[in-house]
């Protein structure tokens, strides 16, 4: 499932592939993909629009056009962009299609149907409900150890659940939250407000480090839209996790078998010795 590093990789690929390209024709094939826009609006607002920039806010991909509108895209579970020749067949589960001015097309395929698109005026983007409540970007200046300490000190939830709340801390999904807590030697069940300031400083450093390393190592998925025939999973970082999906395997630090338990409906992986408190 794409998390922030995976989305960042997709944005970097799109920036390279489609910036300065003009959309000759846009087609919303599955109307439920963009429930707040009609297929007619989708086609009209994107026709002859030139893509000026691809960017990201949290796990949302943003394509900004020269007509003062932007397309917001959330990949959710299985959403994926594919970049093809126009005479190639559309991939299975293609739910939106963009014909470009270079004989290429960009297809949005989504096997599980959870993906989301929304066209908004670029000037009003920060007030769009999908984005308005998001916490500061993890690589931005506002995300500091002091910010993290203030957020955690107000929460009586287990720390893993607070870190997954995108209105409090942005960018951690189930993979990277387990990795960040392991690297910071924090028990996932610790009550958020009980984390000391020095340990919060370590956690802040490890959150930024784990996200940066995942991006530097091509994330956990195959995010290149040009690799049409390859599997969506199988990024390099998938093999580099220290606890995630390593249940029963020895901790790299102390050899204790990694444990898994279900927390908030999702698997948590940790080392009971390194992360005892
Ligand atoms: Zn250990």
| Interval 201-244: pLDDT, tens | 999 999 999 999 999 988 888 888 988 777 777 777 888 999 99
Instruction: Return d(Cα 164, Cα 235) in angstroms, integer.
Output: 22
Residue range 93-120, pLDDT digits in tens: 999 999 999 999 999 999 999 999 999 9
**Predicted local confidence at residue 230, as pLDDT:** 73
> How far away, in angstroms, is 273 Cα from ligand 1 center?
5
> How far away, in angstroms, is 222 Cα from ligand 1 center?
30
> How far away, in angstroms, is 264 Cα from ligand 1 center?
23
**Predicted local confidence at residue 142, as pLDDT:** 97
Q: Looking at domain 145-270, does it have CATH number 1.10.8.50?
A: yes
Domain 4-132 falls in which CATH fold?
Answer: N-terminal domain of MutM-like DNA repair proteins (3.20.190)
Q: For the chain, where do the domains classified as CATH 3.20.190.10 start and end?
A: 4-132
**87-93 average pLDDT score:** 95
Mean pLDDT of the chain: 95
The set of catalytic residues is: 2-3, 59, 266
Which carries the bigger pLDDT value, residue 230 or residue 8? 8
pLDDT tier for residue 275 given thresholds of 50, 70 and 90: very high
> How far away, in angstroms, is 18 Cα from ligand 1 center?
44
Q: Which residues surround ligand 1, an ion (CB under 5 A)?
A: 251, 253-254, 256, 271, 273-274
Instruction: Return d(Cα 6, Cα 59) in angstroms, integer.
Output: 9
> How far away, in angstroms, is 249 Cα from ligand 1 center?
11
> How far away, in angstroms, is 125 Cα from ligand 1 center?
44
pLDDT tier for residue 180 given thresholds of 50, 70 and 90: very high
Global confidence as pTM: 0.93
Q: State what percent of residues in the chain have pLDDT above 70.
A: 100
**162-190 average pLDDT score:** 96
Cβ neighbourhood burial of 176 (10 Å; 0-12, 13-18, 19+):
buried
> How far away, in angstroms, is 134 Cα from ligand 1 center?
33
Are the C-beta atoms of residues 165 and 109 closer than 8 Å to each other?
no
Q: For the chain, where do the domains classified as CATH 1.10.8.50 start and end?
A: 145-270
**Predicted local confidence at residue 239, as pLDDT:** 86
pLDDT tier for residue 178 given thresholds of 50, 70 and 90: very high
**Predicted local confidence at residue 234, as pLDDT:** 72
**Predicted local confidence at residue 235, as pLDDT:** 77
Instruction: Return d(Cα 8, Cα 77) in angstroms, integer.
Output: 15
169 CB-near residues (< 8 Å, 6+ apart):
135, 138, 143, 148, 151, 162, 163, 207
């Amino acid at each position: 499932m794409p998390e922030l590093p995976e989305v960042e990789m997709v944005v970097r690929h799109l920036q390279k592939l489609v910036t300065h390209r003009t959309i000759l024709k846009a087609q919303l094939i599955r109307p439920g993909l963009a429930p707040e826009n009609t297929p007619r609006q989708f086609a009209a607002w994107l026709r002859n629009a030139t893509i000026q920039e691809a960017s990201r806010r949290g796990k949302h991909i943003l394509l900004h056009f020269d007509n003062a509108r932007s397309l917001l895209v959330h990949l959710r579970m299985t959403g994926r962009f594919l970049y093809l020749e126009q005479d190639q067949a559309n991939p299975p589960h293609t739910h939106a299609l963009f014909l470009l001015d270079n004989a290429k097309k960009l297809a949005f395929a989504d096997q599980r149907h959870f993906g989301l698109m929304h066209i908004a005026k670029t000037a009003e983007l920060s007030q769009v409900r999908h984005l308005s409540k998001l916490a500061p970007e993890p690589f931005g200046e506002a995300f500091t150890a002091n910010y993290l300490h203030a957020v955690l000190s107000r929460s009586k939830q287990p720390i893993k659940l607070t870190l997954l709340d995108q209105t409090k801390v942005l960018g951690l999904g189930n993979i990277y939250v387990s990795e960040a807590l392991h690297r910071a030697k924090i028990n996932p069940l610790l009550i958020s407000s009980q984390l000391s300031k020095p340990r919060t400083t370590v956690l802040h450093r490890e959150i930024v480090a784990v996200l940066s390393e995942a991006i530097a190592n091509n994330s956990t998925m195959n995010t290149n839209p040009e690799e049409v025939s390859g599997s969506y999973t199988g990024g390099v970082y998938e093999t580099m996790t220290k606890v995630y999906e390593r249940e029963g395997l020895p901790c790299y630090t102390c050899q204790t078998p990694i444990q898994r338990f279900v927390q908030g409906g999702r698997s948590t992986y940790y080392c009971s010795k390194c992360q005892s408190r």
